[in-house]
Structure 1
Amino acid sequence: MKRSLSSFARGACAALALPAIAMLSSCSSSAPLFLSDGRPTTLVQCPAGSDSCSQQASAACGGAFDVVRQSRDNGTLSLIYACRAK
Protein backbone atom coordinates (compact mmCIF):
# COMPACT_ATOMS: atom_id res chain seq x y z
CA MET A 1 0.00 0.00 0.00
CA LYS A 2 2.88 2.39 0.72
CA ARG A 3 4.17 2.08 -2.82
CA SER A 4 0.86 2.94 -4.39
CA LEU A 5 0.35 5.91 -2.09
CA SER A 6 3.81 7.34 -2.74
CA SER A 7 3.48 6.86 -6.50
CA PHE A 8 0.07 8.57 -6.33
CA ALA A 9 1.59 11.50 -4.41
CA ARG A 10 4.40 11.82 -6.96
CA GLY A 11 1.88 11.78 -9.79
CA ALA A 12 -0.24 14.41 -8.05
CA CYS A 13 2.79 16.66 -7.50
CA ALA A 14 3.80 16.31 -11.14
CA ALA A 15 0.25 17.10 -12.26
CA LEU A 16 0.28 20.27 -10.16
CA ALA A 17 3.77 21.28 -11.25
CA LEU A 18 3.05 21.16 -14.99
CA PRO A 19 0.47 23.97 -15.00
CA ALA A 20 2.74 26.08 -12.80
CA ILE A 21 5.65 25.60 -15.20
CA ALA A 22 3.41 26.42 -18.16
CA MET A 23 2.29 29.65 -16.48
CA LEU A 24 5.86 30.70 -15.79
CA SER A 25 7.03 29.92 -19.31
CA SER A 26 4.22 32.02 -20.79
CA CYS A 27 5.64 35.03 -18.96
CA SER A 28 9.01 34.72 -20.65
CA SER A 29 7.92 36.77 -23.64
CA SER A 30 6.79 39.74 -21.58
CA ALA A 31 8.81 42.91 -21.23
CA PRO A 32 11.56 42.98 -18.62
CA LEU A 33 10.81 44.68 -15.34
CA PHE A 34 14.20 46.40 -15.48
CA LEU A 35 16.55 47.24 -18.33
CA SER A 36 20.14 46.02 -18.25
CA ASP A 37 21.17 49.45 -16.91
CA GLY A 38 18.77 49.07 -13.97
CA ARG A 39 16.02 51.42 -15.12
CA PRO A 40 12.48 50.14 -14.52
CA THR A 41 10.09 49.81 -17.46
CA THR A 42 6.42 50.77 -17.56
CA LEU A 43 3.62 49.68 -19.89
CA VAL A 44 0.90 52.10 -21.00
CA GLN A 45 -1.93 51.42 -23.42
CA CYS A 46 -3.98 53.93 -25.37
CA PRO A 47 -5.99 54.17 -28.58
CA ALA A 48 -3.78 53.76 -31.66
CA GLY A 49 -3.25 57.03 -33.49
CA SER A 50 -3.51 59.19 -30.39
CA ASP A 51 -0.65 60.96 -28.65
CA SER A 52 -1.87 59.79 -25.24
CA CYS A 53 0.79 57.11 -24.61
CA SER A 54 3.65 59.53 -25.25
CA GLN A 55 1.99 62.17 -23.09
CA GLN A 56 1.53 59.71 -20.24
CA ALA A 57 5.15 58.56 -20.46
CA SER A 58 6.45 62.12 -20.62
CA ALA A 59 4.36 63.17 -17.63
CA ALA A 60 5.41 60.13 -15.56
CA CYS A 61 9.08 60.68 -16.39
CA GLY A 62 9.04 64.43 -16.01
CA GLY A 63 10.31 64.77 -19.56
CA ALA A 64 12.50 62.42 -21.61
CA PHE A 65 11.95 58.69 -21.90
CA ASP A 66 13.18 55.82 -24.08
CA VAL A 67 10.76 53.56 -25.94
CA VAL A 68 11.66 49.94 -25.16
CA ARG A 69 8.91 48.30 -27.22
CA GLN A 70 5.78 49.44 -28.97
CA SER A 71 3.02 47.46 -30.70
CA ARG A 72 -0.41 48.03 -32.19
CA ASP A 73 -3.18 45.47 -31.88
CA ASN A 74 -6.92 45.87 -32.53
CA GLY A 75 -6.80 49.65 -32.38
CA THR A 76 -4.73 49.75 -29.18
CA LEU A 77 -1.17 51.01 -28.88
CA SER A 78 0.96 49.35 -26.20
CA LEU A 79 4.07 51.29 -25.25
CA ILE A 80 6.76 50.03 -22.90
CA TYR A 81 9.10 52.82 -21.86
CA ALA A 82 11.88 53.67 -19.41
CA CYS A 83 12.54 57.14 -18.03
CA ARG A 84 15.92 58.66 -18.87
CA ALA A 85 18.25 59.48 -16.04
CA LYS A 86 18.18 63.12 -15.00
Structure 2
Amino acid sequence: MKRSLSFFARRTCAVAAVGAVAVLSGCSSSAPLFLPDGRATTLVQCPVGSDSCAQQANASCGGAFDVVRQSSENGTLSLIYACRPK
Protein backbone atom coordinates (compact mmCIF):
# COMPACT_ATOMS: atom_id res chain seq x y z
CA MET A 1 0.00 0.00 0.00
CA LYS A 2 2.79 2.40 0.88
CA ARG A 3 4.47 1.85 -2.47
CA SER A 4 1.35 2.62 -4.49
CA LEU A 5 0.68 5.77 -2.46
CA SER A 6 4.22 6.97 -3.16
CA PHE A 7 3.75 6.28 -6.88
CA PHE A 8 0.48 8.22 -6.84
CA ALA A 9 2.10 11.20 -5.09
CA ARG A 10 4.99 11.34 -7.59
CA ARG A 11 2.61 11.06 -10.52
CA THR A 12 0.38 13.83 -9.13
CA CYS A 13 3.40 16.12 -8.70
CA ALA A 14 4.56 15.41 -12.24
CA VAL A 15 1.12 16.18 -13.68
CA ALA A 16 0.94 19.41 -11.66
CA ALA A 17 4.40 20.47 -12.88
CA VAL A 18 3.51 19.83 -16.52
CA GLY A 19 0.27 21.77 -16.08
CA ALA A 20 2.10 24.71 -14.53
CA VAL A 21 4.60 24.84 -17.39
CA ALA A 22 1.76 24.77 -19.92
CA VAL A 23 -0.02 27.63 -18.19
CA LEU A 24 3.12 29.76 -17.93
CA SER A 25 4.12 29.17 -21.53
CA GLY A 26 0.64 30.15 -22.64
CA CYS A 27 0.98 33.51 -20.90
CA SER A 28 4.36 34.28 -22.39
CA SER A 29 3.39 33.42 -25.94
CA SER A 30 0.04 35.17 -26.06
CA ALA A 31 -0.59 37.89 -28.61
CA PRO A 32 -0.36 41.49 -27.39
CA LEU A 33 -3.49 43.45 -26.57
CA PHE A 34 -4.06 46.66 -28.47
CA LEU A 35 -5.26 50.09 -27.39
CA PRO A 36 -8.14 51.76 -29.26
CA ASP A 37 -5.56 53.80 -31.22
CA GLY A 38 -3.92 50.58 -32.47
CA ARG A 39 -0.79 50.59 -30.30
CA ALA A 40 0.28 47.22 -28.89
CA THR A 41 0.64 46.88 -25.13
CA THR A 42 3.37 45.01 -23.25
CA LEU A 43 3.44 43.62 -19.72
CA VAL A 44 6.63 43.69 -17.65
CA GLN A 45 7.08 42.64 -14.04
CA CYS A 46 9.76 43.64 -11.57
CA PRO A 47 10.28 43.96 -7.81
CA VAL A 48 8.32 46.75 -6.14
CA GLY A 49 10.59 49.73 -5.45
CA SER A 50 12.96 49.18 -8.36
CA ASP A 51 12.92 51.19 -11.58
CA SER A 52 13.52 48.05 -13.67
CA CYS A 53 10.02 48.09 -15.22
CA ALA A 54 10.41 51.68 -16.41
CA GLN A 55 13.91 50.92 -17.72
CA GLN A 56 12.63 47.91 -19.66
CA ALA A 57 9.76 49.93 -21.15
CA ASN A 58 12.08 52.81 -22.02
CA ALA A 59 14.56 50.47 -23.73
CA SER A 60 11.84 48.59 -25.59
CA CYS A 61 10.21 51.79 -26.86
CA GLY A 62 13.43 53.62 -27.57
CA GLY A 63 12.22 56.46 -25.40
CA ALA A 64 8.77 57.60 -24.34
CA PHE A 65 5.95 55.27 -23.35
CA ASP A 66 2.50 55.55 -21.81
CA VAL A 67 1.53 53.56 -18.72
CA VAL A 68 -1.74 51.77 -19.44
CA ARG A 69 -2.06 50.06 -16.06
CA GLN A 70 0.14 49.48 -13.05
CA SER A 71 -0.46 47.23 -10.06
CA SER A 72 1.52 45.55 -7.31
CA GLU A 73 0.96 42.31 -5.49
CA ASN A 74 3.19 40.21 -3.24
CA GLY A 75 6.21 42.44 -3.83
CA THR A 76 5.91 42.38 -7.63
CA LEU A 77 5.07 45.40 -9.75
CA SER A 78 3.17 44.69 -12.98
CA LEU A 79 3.35 47.43 -15.59
CA ILE A 80 1.38 47.42 -18.83
CA TYR A 81 2.66 50.04 -21.22
CA ALA A 82 2.41 51.16 -24.84
CA CYS A 83 5.13 52.92 -26.80
CA ARG A 84 4.35 56.44 -27.90
CA PRO A 85 4.23 57.01 -31.65
CA LYS A 86 7.43 58.42 -33.11
- Larger-gyration structure (1/2): 1
Q: Partner of 1:49: helix, strand, or coil?
A: coil
Provide the aligned C-alpha RMSD in A: 1.0
Counterpart position of 1:59: 59
The 5 A counterparts of 1:5-84 are: 33-84=33-84
Which segments of structure 1 move beyond 3 Å, counting only runs of 4 or more?
A: none
TM-score of the superposed pair, with normalisation by structure 2 = 0.63
What amino acid sits opposite 1:61 in the alignment?
Answer: C
Measured after TM superposition, the shift of residue 76 of structure 1 is 0.1
Partners of 1:65 and 1:36 in 2: how far apart? 16
Partners of 2:42 and 2:63 in 1: how far apart? 15
TM-score of the superposed pair, with normalisation by structure 1 = 0.63
Identity across the alignment (%): 84
Q: Partner of 1:79: helix, strand, or coil?
A: strand
Structure 2: give runs of 5+ residues left out of the alignment.
Answer: 1-31
What amino acid sits opposite 2:73 in the alignment?
Answer: D
Q: How many residues align?
A: 55
What amino acid sits opposite 2:72 in the alignment?
Answer: R
Structure 1: give runs of 5+ residues left out of the alignment.
Answer: 1-31
What amino acid sits opposite 1:47 in the alignment?
Answer: P
What amino acid sits opposite 2:69 in the alignment?
Answer: R
What amino acid sits opposite 1:56 in the alignment?
Answer: Q
Q: Partner of 1:80: helix, strand, or coil?
A: strand
Measured after TM superposition, the shift of residue 80 of structure 1 is 0.1
